[in-house]
Amino acid sequence: MAELIDVALEQRQDHPKEYTILWWTLWFGLTVEEGHVINYCGLPYTCKFTLDRTKYDDSKVIVAHAPSFEFDFPYVDDVKSGKKAFILQTAESPQDFEIKSKWTGIFTHLWSHRFDADYVQSYFKAGRQEGSFIYSILTKPMYTIQEKNAFRKELGLAPVAWIVSSCKAKNGRHIYVNQMLKYIKVDVYGHCMNNKAWPKHSDGKDFTDREVVGRYKFYLSLENSNCNDYVTEKLERSYTVGTVPILDGPKDYSRFLATNHSYLRLDDFATPEQLSLRIQQLDQDDTAYMRYLDYKESNIPIESLLSPKLLETYDVPQGIWGPDREGARCGVCELAHDMAEGSYQYNPNKVVGPDPTCAFKKWVFFSWVAEYYWLTIALVILGIFAGATILIACCKSRRARRCFQALRYNLTPRSWRDKRMTDASVRTDDYQLLE
């Protein structure tokens, strides 16, 4: 009997219990999540993703990819009663329905880049191993400052590069860059404002993104939306190759920055002209420029070298779930176990709700103001002067004074006007003039 129990326990260890997690949607039209097994979390059980909706009854946890969600979920009552957990999954800036639609109220959990989400999956891998965010930050620069200066002279490269796929960003980032181009040269690669051909190696193969960016001193790491914690691979691309990133994204970048002097930021400059002037100064001063990359060349232990907030976020010991792809999936797997085994404490008031964290159209109206800056100031001054002139003229004209008196008379309540006129301490000449 004891031998049978030992065999059963051994089989259990070899084949831990598996919990099914149903993806209600595809991922941008792809079936990449089908069959993914979560067995790397240090848990005594595993989980498996499926796209097969016929397994709905076997799944306590349902996942919907926000950009792919088609508002076709018919089991809302199961979610509201606590029988199922419905997770909204996204690594993108919020979709329209995430901001204002009633649909966000049916989701019980959020799996997102946001650090206030139930399951955090940022764009960067935690830990210190190869491929992690910290490893990328500490990687030696792809080129020396001397080589970058040579690229500037021999290849005619600009001091700044930008790889961009679309001119339809919600915050209008291309509008800001368009103003920058008036004051400084920017090499733009991609499908928006393109002014530079993608380089190729001698064997005809295209450069990688990092090979392109690595030759420049500065890189525009501009997000397409300004939302809390929405920081994408654009920042890591710049840090990895040893290029100074020029940032625009969330209000708080602190958990993502190598040091407090490793970047430039659009919000720190009043105008694109001022930002361009600072870039030109650093382009001509190698010593000042290299201070922005001192974290790359230092022998100081990273605990003293890198930002404490960065280390707190991403310097995660082995075996601890971090704010990355694997960590988020481990958390979802744990939820599937707790739901199936009845150990999850259901809260009927827990819903995702709309996302209020974004500042949309940040630069949309910037172009007009920047383009007509002096004209705007002139019009304001002219308007003030014209208003003052009219006011002075009116004060000197008896007819104008009577017009103002009539306006004041008509806007004054009758009861208050009668009371004021019977008060001996109040002059009533103006009112009598109108009777």
Q: What is the pLDDT of residue 349?
A: 85
Specify if 319 maps to a domain. no
pLDDT score of 428 = 44
Residues 157 and 294 occupy one common structural domain: yes
User: What's the pLDDT score for residue 376?
Assistant: 63
Six token digits for residue 288: 């000042």
Spatial distance between the Cα atoms of 110 and 115, rounded to a whole number of angstroms = 10
Q: Tell me the per-residue pLDDT of 190-216, one tens digit each, with 9 for 90 and over.
A: 989 999 999 999 999 999 999 999 999
Q: Is the residue at 356 inside a domain?
A: no
In a domain, 358, yes or no: no
Question: What's the CATH number where 70 sits?
Answer: 3.40.50
Residue span of the structural domain in which 427 resides: 372-434
Q: Of all helices (H) and strands (E), which one includes residue 417?
A: helix 414-421
CATH number of the domain to which 274 belongs: 3.40.50.11660
Q: Are residues 190 and 300 in the same domain?
A: yes
359: in domain: no
Looking at the structure of the chain, the number of domains it has is: 3
Alpha-carbon distance of 119 to 131, in angstroms, equals 21
Same domain, 42 and 157: no
Residues 49 and 23: beta-carbon distance below 8 Å: yes
Residues 336 and 421 in one domain: no
Angle subtended by helix axes 173-180 and 272-283, to nearest 10: 60
Instruction: Say how far apart CA 193 and CA 164 lie, in whole Å.
Output: 8
pLDDT of residue 380: 75
**Residues 258 and 299 occupy one common structural domain:** yes
User: Is 365 a member of any domain?
Assistant: no
Task: Mark whether 47 and 149 lie in a shared domain.
Answer: no
Is residue 107 domain-shared with residue 191, that is, in the same domain? no
90 and 154 fall within a common domain = no
331 and 293 in a common domain: no
Beta bridge partners of 61: 21, 85
Token pair listed for 199 = 């380089």
* Low-confidence residues of the chain: pLDDT under 70: 1-14, 366-377, 391-435
Same domain, 195 and 50: no
d(CA 183, CA 52): 55
- 141/269 same-domain check: yes
**CA 204 – CA 200 distance, rounded (Å):** 6
Q: Which tokens go with 336? A: 């599937």
Paired with 206 in beta bridges are 200
